[in-house]
Amino acid sequence: MAEKLPREVIEELERVSRLHEQAVCDHEKCREFSEKLSGLLVRLEDMKFYRTADRLMGILLNCSPKEASHCEKSTLVGEMIKDVAKEVRKAAEK
């Protein structure tokens, strides 16, 4: 069961998810994605949403921006971030 996050946090998570879609072939956007996801993780921990924060940490563990090479785990990271975004959106609707 996903935590019921505030609307603005859900919207930020969805923006980060969309950013990942753009980042697959763009190193700068990839770094931006990683930085924004890290910031969101810290914010969730400060708000005591540890379960969701743990899921974002798992995503970050698989995310390693590399210059001049394709991300080997872009599909995995993309699916993980989409799953988290979908779950928190559903929890907010309940």
- State the pTM of this model: 0.85
Is 22 or 50 the better-scoring residue by pLDDT? 50
DSSP string, 36-77: HHHHHHHHHHHTT-HHHHHHHHHHHHH----TTS--TTHHHH
% of the chain at pLDDT higher than 70: 93
Please give the DSSP secondary-structure letter assigned to residue 94: -
Distance CA 7, CA 10 (A): 5
